[in-house]
Structure 1
Amino acid sequence: MPCCSQMTRLLARRGGGRWAAASRIGGIREFAAFEGSPPAIVHKRGIDILHDPWFNKGTGFSMTERDRLDLRGLLPPNVMTSEQQIQRFMVDLERWKKSARDGPTDTTSLAMWRILNRLHDRNETMYYKVLIENIEDYAPIVYTPTVGLVCQKFSGLYRRPRGMYFSAEDRGEMMSMVYNWPAEQVDMIVVTDGSRILGLGDLGVHGIGIAIGKLDLYVAAAGINPQRVLPVMIDVGTNNEKLLHDPMYLGLQQHRLEGEEYLSVIDEFMDAVFTRWPQVIVQFEDFQTKWASKLLQRYRNTYRMFNDDVQGTAGVAIAGLLGAVRAQGRPMLDFTKQKIVVAGAGSAGIGVVSTASKTMERMLGNTESAFESARSQFWVVDASGLLTEERKNIDPDARPYAKSLKEVSRYGLQEGASLIEVVKKVRPDVLLGLSAVGGLFSTEVLECLKDSTSSRPAIFAMSNPTKNAECTPAQAFSVLGPNIIFASGSPFNDVNLGDGQVGHCNQGNNMYLFPGIGLGTLLSGARIISDGMLQAAAESLAGYMTEEDVQQGIIYPSISRIRDITKEIAAAVVTEAVKEDLAEGYRGMSARELQRMSKAEIASFVEKNMWKPIYPNLVFQKL
């Protein structure tokens, strides 16, 4: 009998690259599921296999497997196909889905989340098969908006560990702690400090739910191997007084670390994970504004990392803005002429403005005059009103977009002018909301858009969760009629406008982009994630829609096509990484081989490396 390493090499040779075993995880071997894969070797059997969600098949174990894994008598005798298993599982879920169709409530959404979570706990392959095949229905359950509810109630919902927790109490220990995670290779980490969860604020350790939900989408949309993902919570305390006095709260009950103390914790974490897994990609998620951009600039040129709130949100918004130009029947170059009022000057808002400005600059030739021209197209309004150079203590990231007195006086405005005043006087082509203030786009604000210089103004109400959306599509269409473009961050139904007309609600969710950015970075082996790679991702998404779609006001594709969308975006990211000479290759694929690939070959390479939820044929082997 060959030893473990010999068996692994044997399987690799026989599988021609499409093989099952890669590295040991807690006494078993991880598998990458592809059609026709050789058997996966496991080092446990009997009841231990049934309690392992990575390898448990439940009633799907064949009789041969039951014999060799000591499972006879431990399962009902009828062997079921995965399709039959899903049918049985869906009975309970469908009951709650029907209730949700009548009008989703917190109760129905949490009930569906609990059912899916229990499946995740016992059978990961089946969980992801259900999620992939029903992504449009269940993405809102495993991620936004339901994940917001889950985070708020996390201490009461917590049942079993998923992911890792690094806290302020672990300073000096993180380098050894990271080896407690059983996977020898991790491809993707999503990390949060819980300081700004969606639009819900500081939820402390409860924020781990965001990282878990994002990684579910990485697996479902991008085909990242679920055994190679790691959700992480960095607990540096909380300033949420309710949690500080809640005896059931699971995190540190102390106020948040600040300044150099805070940075030292994040630095130690980054050093630890990249020491153990040098090729890992780290996505920062829901860090409060004052740290989001600072940490991005601190690490982005050293580590393979990005911030989804800053860069992902910006990319999705850019794709939508470019689509809106197309929907207005104008050439793409006219994006440089769009007047855009932005409500919200946090990390997401300024991230969008910065990225959109850079896109305009590139279109205009990247000159000094191009920068000034692009900057002049944005009017940023925060809680204190219009942002101008007169503002005291202005955030450094927002300063380039503060209006000069000359600019505002030309429109009859001044520092601190209200959103209504700005929309009325500027008459923008686009009203973009990233404020996290539900209902901010009131009837009065929307009425002002009737005087827009565009014949088809665009409203982007991008804040999450649903209750924080600046307005609903029903409100926008009822005030402005059918000739608008509407997008939101959370899912809303299309609006029936009568006479066969439909007001399309486009969900500009970050899930369109971040899975493709992560997958493309992974498969290219890029040293860092560059602005060019992010821009390529956004342009790929913008170009995905047909001309017929955009003329109907549809600027984002259906979530049901997310795997195909992600494949296209990942291929664009790989291509850009190669073009910028950042690619270093992926496993057996060298950078030189990637350089020689055609566009079609890169797309095929991406698709072949997307994990699929297929039960492997399990073979037991003693350690």
Structure 2
Amino acid sequence: MMSRLNLAVRPWVYICRSVHTKEIGKPLMLSPRTNKGMAFTLQERQILGLHGLLPPKIETQEIQAMRFKQNLKKIGDPLTKYVYVMGIQERNEKLFYRVLLDNIEELLPIVYTPTVGLACLQYGHIFRRPKGVFISIMDKGHVRSILDNWPDTNVKAVVVTDGERILGLGDLGVYGMGIPVGKMCLYTTCAGIDPHSCLPVCIDVGTDNEMLLKDPFYMGLYQKRDRSQHYDELIDEFMEAIVNKYGRNTLIQFEDFGNQNAFRFLRKYQNKYCTFNDDIQGTAAVALAGLLSAQRVINKPLGDHKFLFLGAGEAALGIADLIVLAMKETGISEEEAQKKIWMFDKYGLLYQGRSEPTDKHQQPYVHTAPDQKIETFLDAVNTLQPTAIIGVAGAGRLFSKEVINAMGRMNERPIIFALSNPTDKAECTAEDAYNLTEGRCLFASGSPFDPVTLADGRVFQPGQGNNAYIFPGVALAVILVGVRTISSHVFLTAAKALAEQVTNDELTQGRLYPPLSQIRKVSIHTAAKVAEYLYANGMAFEFPEPEDKEKYFLSKVWKTDYESFLPDVYNWSESATRLPKM
């Protein structure tokens, strides 16, 4: 047996020979969770059997990040950028999140809106490796066994879609999996939530998209959407399987369901599970935050505004309901608050007695018809004279020059929110909004726009009302304080927390939201404010309550630094002395 002296001189060789660590080296290098590329140290390479399998240079993560960014600059096409960036995630997870966090303003439009919409449209064509869990209507009765196939057992957050209403693109079926995958990336990037505790899920019940049903690369069921009772039974089974496997306080975020199902499931599950719908509640919170920032600029409370929505679906109704909740806090009755909100959908203005249908969720915003006949959105603007127009129809450039000019004539500081995604679905451009109002408007959009320079030299930074400002911080708070259900007041609290982080200097630049470069700081602060509300209202179940909540959340964030594999090897040395002679 090797002498004690020799063991002291050559411990790495002894341990390597004794415990056969070379067998685990290559799997570590091939797994995106543990791969460090050329950042594996010389000792790790020798112990793990990687020596010679990597170029001899030992690289830092900083050099790897530099290579990542240089290669990205050479790519012009957004979809190709998406494929490249997500390919890094598939090879080196730590590096992916390091670069994403350091370059969030540049890369957020790639990994999420607007480029993720292009990726979803082409999902089967750019497919490289599966991510997340796919559950089809054929799996009804076996959902739990499918979840058991997912390797991570410590899941804290689930993002689920059935692909029926992906952004403004419509029914994409299984191709909609790009949305939960993208949302999970933002959970980690924006709020530091451990990616191994996040689970993206796509529920496949078919698609009504004829193009996909003829697409040879489509990856889902080749059938029309199942809208029978089997669909509801599958969702019920899924919800119960999640909480049975991962715990009652597992967060379940609904994403891009069709309007009717989105509202139906929110009302059905919100008092039973730890769940929310980001299209309804997340969008509402980020829009309200923008309105609260605008309120600071013009010194005019929400109750003195009149709001006109272009669109009357889940986003519009979610925003409207949260505006009403905010107004009620100031002493305005619910009925009076609702009267300040009008909606215009594909059939025209919502009013009592119109021949076109309205559903029960829209009823609070169906008012007595104006005296004047209204046929177009411009007619509605001129007749109702709103102080704010909010576009969530996903129908393209319907905030015409005439509409924007009208808003500018009747308001000193018109509020113009073009929130539809992706970019080509936005109701107007930032350039039109600022130029046509001579820089007086307070503008926000769902997708990013470049800064706008007016003829007089003034430069405006358009605010992007991105849900990433809200849902990661809310999720961080909910996960770490042990919430069982999530009320609408949580999103009201999050909206206030976001708005208060916009500085006066940023407001003068035209910003209604903090810079995206500060998204981690913003999310941690938002999480702390949400946690304060949850503890104060008896909705938190993790004790003791952290005294300094921001410090507590910062201590819990997932780190992108590479870990050393050597400590575990050291622990094997004791047992190694009992192995057979070499």
Which of 304, 310, 316 is residue 337 of structure 1 equivalent to?
Answer: 304
In structure 1, the residue matched to 2:7 is none
Tell me, in whole angstroms, the C-alpha distance in 2 between the residues paired with 1:236 and 1:314: 28
User: What letter is aligned with 1:146?
Assistant: T
Task: Give the structure 1 partner of residue 288 of structure 2.
Answer: 318
| Counterpart in the other structure of 1:148 | 117
Within the alignment, does 1:347 sit opposite 2:314 as a pair?
yes
- For residues 300-311 of structure 1, the aligned pairs below 5 Å read 300-311=270-281
**Corresponding residue for 2:43?**
64
Q: Computing the radius of gyration over CA atoms, which structure comes out larger, 1 or 2?
A: 2
With over 3 angstroms needed to count, the CA separation of the structure-2 counterparts of 1:540 and 1:44, relative to structure 1, is: farther
Letter matched to residue 308 of structure 1: D
Contact 1:486 1:504 (C-alpha < 8 Å) held by counterparts: no
- Tell me, in whole angstroms, the C-alpha distance in 1 between the residues paired with 2:462 and 2:470: 18
Task: In structure 2, give the amino acid aligned to 1:358.
Answer: L
Give the alignment's TM-score, normalised by structure 1: 0.86
* Identical positions, percent: 40
Q: Which residue of 2 aligns with 1:181?
A: 150
Could you say which residue in structure 1 is the equivalent of 2:98?
Answer: 129
Q: What's the counterpart of residue 397 of structure 1?
A: 361
The answer to whether the 8 A contact 1:461-1:471 is kept is yes
Whether the aligned pair in 2 keeps the contact of 1:194 and 1:287 (CA below 8 Å) is yes
Q: Which of residues 428, 437, 444 is equivalent to 2:395?
A: 437
Q: How far, CA to CA, are the matches of 2:507 and 2:288 in structure 1?
A: 15
Q: Map 1:216-615; keep pairs closer than 5 Å.
A: 216-278=185-247, 279-330=249-300, 334-364=301-331, 370-392=333-355, 393-405=357-369, 408-409=370-371, 412-413=372-373, 417-452=375-410, 454-585=411-542, 590=543, 593-594=544-545, 597-598=546-547, 601-615=548-562
Q: Distance in 2 between matches of 1:389 and 1:43?
A: 74
Aligned-partner residue type, residue 316 of structure 2: G
The alpha-carbon distance between structure 1 residues 425 and 451, as it changes in their structure 2 partners (threshold 3 A), is farther
Partner residue, 1:8: none
Aligned to 1:78: 57
Q: Tell me the SS of whatever aligns to 1:364.
A: coil
SS in 2 for 1:582: coil
Take 2:302 and 2:22, find their aligned partners in 1: how far apart are those partners? 58
Counterpart AA for 1:609: K
Unaligned runs of at least 5 residues, structure 1: 1-41, 100-107
Judged with a 3 Å threshold, the aligned counterparts in structure 2 of structure 1 residues 173 and 470 are, in CA distance, closer, same or farther, namely same
- Match among 171, 185, 191 for residue 140 of structure 2: 171
Q: Residue 526 of structure 1 aligns to a residue in which SS?
A: coil
Does residue 209 of the first structure (1) align with residue 209 of the second (2)? no
Q: How far off its partner does 1:246 sit? A: 1.8
Residue among 74, 78, 81 paired with 1:109: 78
Deviations 1:372-427 (A, max 9, x none): 2101111111011110121353211100110124xx23xx356xx42111101222
Aligned residue identity for 1:526: V
Residue by residue over 1:232-280, the C-alpha shift from the partner in whole angstroms, topping out at 9 and shown as x without a partner, is 1000100001111222211001111114221111111111111110132
Q: Unmatched 5+ residue regions in structure 2?
A: 1-20, 576-582
For the Cα contact (< 8 Å) 1:319–1:538, is it kept in 2? yes
CA distance in 2, matches of 1:567, 1:574: 10
Q: Which runs of 4+ in 1 moved over 6 A?
A: none
CA shift digits 1:564-595 (9 cap, x unpaired): 0000100011111101101011xxxx2xx21x
CA offsets, 1:533-576, max 9 Å, x none? 11111100011112333244321111000000000100011111
CA change 1:169–1:421 in 2 (3 A) is: same
Aligned AA for 1:444? E
Q: Give the equivalent residue in structure 1 for 2:17.
A: none
8 Å contact from structure 1 (residues 326, 551) kept in 2 = no
What amino acid does structure 1 have at the position aligned with 2:185?
A: D
For the residue of structure 1 that corresponds to 2:454, the secondary structure is strand
Distance 1:389 1:258 in 2: 30
Cα distance between partner residues in 2 of 1:202 and 1:338: 35
Count of residue correspondences: 548
Tell me what 2:18 maps to: none
Q: Which moved more, 1:438-447 or 1:149-158?
A: 438-447
Q: Give the partner amino acid of 2:250.
A: V
What amino acid maps onto 2:318 in structure 1?
Answer: G
Q: What is the DSSP-based 3-state SS (H/G/I as helix, E as strand, rest coil) of the residue aligned with 1:372?
A: helix
